[in-house]
Structure 1
């Protein structure tokens, strides 16, 4: 199992692993498992607390049946006549509208008429009330009479699932809502919450109230109130919640237009205000802070006249309770004991101020894109940057994701969750960092094993210390290539025994290998008596053309000493041809998955091999390309040899031989350049005179004899179109 996992890690690249992680997290984003939504809600709570707007509208106040009211006027439920008295005082104060966040689902048993009935039923006692005005015999009738006078909104409760509806006649007041739909009629009903039943006030009360509104709030699965439904459907009619109903009544019942798109509910137009809703008709509450952020007036103070009536004029009032014993408390992002009535006040305030927390349709798409890009950023970062950069850059991006979410919330009031980008950053960073560490340790072991054959031990240590500077998978890179070959080695080998051939090669290749490795070259391979090496890979060597050229000249300088030994032991001497060229090649591990070599491939490699093979043709020890000649070093002097078209290439190549400066003869060079210029112009007769001079003065230089013979042949058989370029027809 472990070995299988190791092979999997080995075969999948870091970008591949990172992209796979991003895809899996993207799938997780689409399906939104509960634990992720739980974390997302917690992040939302933090951002809301840090960036909420605490200013509130002065139109909304709460009439609180608080602990002091219960202490002064007795336990709840109060007699309905006292509730009626409270409402009467609020009406007389000139309130715009009064919403009752209280469910009057049962008759008032403290009414004289009900008290008389209950005593007769339970104790078989008949009682009577003398001098009691008939309107005071039934507290519910008294409250109903007050409700008729308005402006009051009475609450009811929609039931779902196991909570059954009561059997009363409901007399609920659906609101007139126009529907602007971009989808089918069937889809409309499917998006809103559908109430299965109703727990309503007494029919007498609900029938008397001018407006009704449901008092349901819906907590998230973690028990925290963040959104509230403002609109529900029941038996084909639309109903709005208590807070919105109170505002609707207080603002003279403006028009309501529900907008539905293909995704569900989009918004509710309330007069000129567009209220953003989620697809199920829920409103995200922009809480202003902890409990009692709004103005609370004790019901006891209203009843005993302590609160000035002028203070309540023109206000939207909500009657509810903050008393713990009445169990109308909610948990919000700000407070674990938040009165339910204040949630209704928050809704009204948000609509009055237009201070909405929006959820545009494009936010999920943006979150998804940022999530994927965050993972790809880490993939790119780990692929190209060092460990010192990756962690700070990842933490910086994580911080930007968080600050970006806070900024959009604070300035535009919509929540773009940073959760999934942060998850992707953390998981991708963790897994890719571990994978890269695994790859690094594996590569270091491979490097030490593999490159000890190619380069000097000091360079092997440097490679192992900084493996990130390697690209074993292959890359396009400029290198300098050297080919060397022993001339006529096959014919020499026929004169020696196999043991002697092996000994000769070992004695020759040992100093060649030493010279190449000491100059920071990479020994690619031995091909019989031939040697192939290159510079500037696997590690960068800034002056690689100069080092390669020096290595070639050092090999030639080593030959006289070697030939003394070979003359004594084998009665022969060797000559070597060397080609050097710089250019772009493909460098990396080449071969099968199980057997490969670190080597180079490309047209420039082939050209270097051709240069080496042409040394024999021109009678020189070393040939280099024009790329090498461009090296501006005082230690070297270059002599142009020819401009040729080698077989298989159309582009002409200018060839040079090279000597160290102390071995260079300026007089010889000057004469040669004059003769070569005449040769290129096609003045073969004049060129012959100079080449004759050069051959006599420097008879060991075969190049001059070659040009002398070439010019004579061109005089006898002139070329049709002479451009000064010689074409080699064989390799």
Structure 2
């Protein structure tokens, strides 16, 4: 707990703790999937899609070393329907070796049945039935028998040339072993007691013994589709009985390379950093070694002895990755010799009718023979797409790094920044993964990392939408009754910037009260009083909220409000003064309406003060309110209370006058209110600077002269000027108040140390 507090500040932990916890949970799920502790078909499918996308993005050039002799529609049209007689195939093999000098030829075709296309059996039947009495006919037939043995001719052609025959393995119970298998690449005896993780088969469909014994090698041609039917990898070796048998591609390229032996090589104890016994128990296959010249060739494999097919493109004659030539053009020697010379040849078909089209990541109609060609190209290039043993470490590094970085960052980011960071993280994962795939030939699963990025982004987006929406609603419920709707909307756009927590700010506070409300309440019945007070409070509240003020509370007939919180307002003092002047105008309109109704007159007093105040959610466990407190607040309340003493509707303190210079003020006095020892100047705002006429400005100027005379104890001069002002404005109680003070001070002089301050002992 102490460590957590050191790493993550308490305030951040409280603010983002839930989001961090969910991010940690998502990261843990990703790690468990990577370690194969849990499974997910959705993630598996996304990973397959990601792998296929990387394969499709590759664009390999023509590999001239591998040529496909195609039993295509053209060849079938000229030679005849498939299967062709074995004498035609014997001629094909002979032409490939004698005329075109290929390095090896692999048949993606199986020959399990004898060839009876020569019709020799029919001749024998005729000889027995129709010419049985002619011995010379039977003798002549026996003499020409070899000319009709097309299997023998094909076998003779195979025996003299570097040819590999294809065959099938099976585990179907209904199948029976048929034909003959070639010699295995090696047996379990060559493993020295170690074991290989290989696909095992019980049944096979091989070639005629005569053909297989004549051919130099054989290779299985089993497709290896994944669960979705797409072929992404092919085995190089499988097991049958005690033997390990080569694939057609492996056997064909081995023959072309001149290798006569296949040797399994295991990692040594030193390479595995294990003791000898543990290394033997681990049994990790390093690869298959071919005894090529001048140095052996090592072919790395996956643990199931398979290899990912590094598809070079969309496949087929139009794909451009391998040269296709029609078989009939070979038979009729229409091709230049250099097209096939010293190249590896695969005999197969692209004819749809012969059904050797498979599904690959790049094409739904991919020629099966070209899959073998891709394996051959990889071995010739020494380029193998592999999933290395350390792929778990890379994936875990992705997951932990992304979970930590995005889990900490996204909760604190704005939506656009969150999108940018998530896209950058996903782009970095994709870029690094593509680099390992294209440059290093490492196949590292990428779906868990990308899904983690997406999950963290979507979670934080949902959290931001749902929970921030709740915060916005909470903001409305918290502040909606205090501030204007437009301010609530502004606050809801960034709710994190506002809270009910207490803080100290410079604000301007307003207190408004109805003069003589007790008398008013006594003169009205309950319903009339309710309407009277409701109309008054509504008008005052609308004026306050209409100028971005925060309505604090109603205290009976009194109204309390402030400016500058929760929304910060640099001009809070000016807004407060302007609002107070408008409230006086609204009160005057209400007064006229109330008098017309026969209700008592409405007179209000307003006190304003500016200063540092404590603002926030305050109260008890039972009831709390967003309000302000402090000495500056108390002074505002006292100013409202003494407005009636000076016969004015509005009083402000010195700090408010200085903070709101755009108004014309009449200084009234320096007072010492109850609860404060320091005297403060008080002022009456008369109006905005441009709205006060010259007559009023002249009157205010004369008044300030009279006030200066009073403070200088020039009683006679002050009295004369005050009487003059009173004649001009007989309704102004301020002049009457000071005339009374002058007469009293003349009778009882305040003395030389007088500071001109009026002290109020009551609120």
TM-score of the alignment, normalized to the shorter chain, above 0.5: yes
CA gap of 1:524–1:395, structure 2 versus 1, over 3 A, is: same
Tell whether 2:306 aligns with 1:281: yes
CA gap of 1:425–1:120, structure 2 versus 1, over 3 A, is: farther
Distance of 1:258 and 1:269 partners within structure 2: 9
Q: Of residues 336, 351, 357 in structure 2, which corresponds to 1:323?
A: 351
Tell whether 2:172 aligns with 1:164: no
Cross-structure match for 1:460: 485
Cross-structure match for 1:33: 41
Shift of 1:329: 1.9
Cross-structure match for 1:58: 64
Distance of 1:578 and 1:213 partners within structure 2: 100
Shift of 1:244: 2.3
Shift of 1:517: 2.5
CA deviation vs aligned residue, 1:141-171 (integer Å, no higher than 9, x gap): 5544544445232222121345635155534
Cross-structure match for 1:303: 331
Cross-structure match for 1:174: 185
Q: Of residues 62, 73, 82 in structure 1, which corresponds to 2:88?
A: 82
CA gap of 1:357–1:605, structure 2 versus 1, over 3 A, is: farther
The within-5 A match list for 1:227-626 is 227-235=233-241, 237-253=243-259, 257=265, 268=287, 277=302, 281-292=306-317, 293=320, 294-354=322-382, 357=385, 359=387, 361=391, 384-385=414-415, 412=439, 436=465, 447=476, 453-455=481-483, 459-461=484-486, 463-464=488-489, 467-470=492-495, 474=499, 481=507, 513=541, 516-526=544-554, 533-537=561-565, 539=567, 541-544=569-572, 546-548=574-576, 580-582=610-612, 600=626, 605=629
Shift of 1:204: 4.1
Q: Which stretch shows the higher mean deviation, 421-430 or 208-217? A: 421-430
5+ residue gaps in structure 2? 1-15, 273-280, 290-295, 687-699, 712-749
Contact 2:311–2:362 (Cα < 8 Å) also in 1: no
Distance of 2:139 and 2:562 partners within structure 1: 120
CA gap of 1:230–1:557, structure 2 versus 1, over 3 A, is: same
Cross-structure match for 2:225: 219
Distance of 1:99 and 1:232 partners within structure 2: 18
CA gap of 1:201–1:375, structure 2 versus 1, over 3 A, is: farther
CA deviation vs aligned residue, 1:647-704 (integer Å, no higher than 9, x gap): xxxxxxx9987757999999999xx9xxxxxxxxxxxxxxxxxxx989614131579x
Q: Which stretch shows the higher mean deviation, 57-66 or 347-356? A: 347-356
Tell whether 2:112 aligns with 1:105: yes
CA gap of 1:555–1:76, structure 2 versus 1, over 3 A, is: closer
CA gap of 1:379–1:304, structure 2 versus 1, over 3 A, is: same
Contact 1:152–1:211 (Cα < 8 Å) also in 2: yes
SS at match of 1:297: strand
Shift of 1:212: 2.7
Tell whether 2:741 aligns with 1:696: no
Distance of 1:560 and 1:144 partners within structure 2: 122
The within-5 A match list for 1:193-212 is 193-212=199-218
Contact 1:116–1:127 (Cα < 8 Å) also in 2: no
CA gap of 1:227–1:178, structure 2 versus 1, over 3 A, is: farther
Contact 2:615–2:626 (Cα < 8 Å) also in 1: yes
Contact 1:636–1:658 (Cα < 8 Å) also in 2: no
SS at match of 1:296: strand
Contact 2:314–2:366 (Cα < 8 Å) also in 1: no
Shift of 1:58: 1.6
CA gap of 1:480–1:510, structure 2 versus 1, over 3 A, is: farther
Distance of 1:561 and 1:384 partners within structure 2: 48
Contact 2:540–2:583 (Cα < 8 Å) also in 1: yes
CA deviation vs aligned residue, 1:192-246 (integer Å, no higher than 9, x gap): 4333432222344444443332211223445444433334344454444211221
Shift of 1:108: 3.1
Distance of 2:333 and 2:651 partners within structure 1: 115
Distance of 1:264 and 1:576 partners within structure 2: 93
TM normalised by structure 2 equals 0.60
5+ residue gaps in structure 1? 1-11, 647-653, 673-691, 704-731
Contact 1:44–1:415 (Cα < 8 Å) also in 2: no
Question: Which is higher, the Rg of structure 1 or of structure 2?
Answer: 2
Tell whether 2:165 aligns with 1:154: yes
Contact 1:172–1:207 (Cα < 8 Å) also in 2: no
Contact 1:56–1:288 (Cα < 8 Å) also in 2: no
Contact 1:483–1:609 (Cα < 8 Å) also in 2: yes
Shift of 1:90: 2.7
Shift of 1:394: 11
Distance of 1:632 and 1:575 partners within structure 2: 20
Contact 1:624–1:655 (Cα < 8 Å) also in 2: no
CA deviation vs aligned residue, 1:469-522 (integer Å, no higher than 9, x gap): 4569946688655566799x9xx9899979999999889967764553243111
Q: Which stretch shows the higher mean deviation, 276-285 or 20-29? A: 20-29
Tell whether 2:78 aligns with 1:72: yes
SS at match of 1:194: coil
CA deviation vs aligned residue, 1:17-60 (integer Å, no higher than 9, x gap): 997997999699974436x76676567656644x3223132211
Distance of 1:179 and 1:666 partners within structure 2: 121
Q: CA RMSD in A?
A: 7.0
CA gap of 1:427–1:396, structure 2 versus 1, over 3 A, is: closer
Contact 2:577–2:608 (Cα < 8 Å) also in 1: no
Instruction: Count how many residue pairs are aligned between Structure 1 and Structure 2.
Output: 641
Distance of 2:86 and 2:752 partners within structure 1: 132
SS at match of 1:285: coil
Contact 2:180–2:207 (Cα < 8 Å) also in 1: no
CA gap of 1:208–1:402, structure 2 versus 1, over 3 A, is: same
Q: Which stretch shows the higher mean deviation, 434-443 or 244-253? A: 434-443
Contact 2:573–2:660 (Cα < 8 Å) also in 1: no
Contact 2:108–2:166 (Cα < 8 Å) also in 1: yes
Q: Which stretch shows the higher mean deviation, 296-305 or 222-231? A: 222-231
Distance of 1:667 and 1:547 partners within structure 2: 31
Distance of 1:318 and 1:176 partners within structure 2: 27
Distance of 1:605 and 1:235 partners within structure 2: 93
Contact 2:553–2:560 (Cα < 8 Å) also in 1: yes
Shift of 1:291: 0.6
Contact 2:71–2:350 (Cα < 8 Å) also in 1: yes
Contact 1:156–1:215 (Cα < 8 Å) also in 2: yes
Shift of 1:257: 4.5
Cross-structure match for 2:745: none
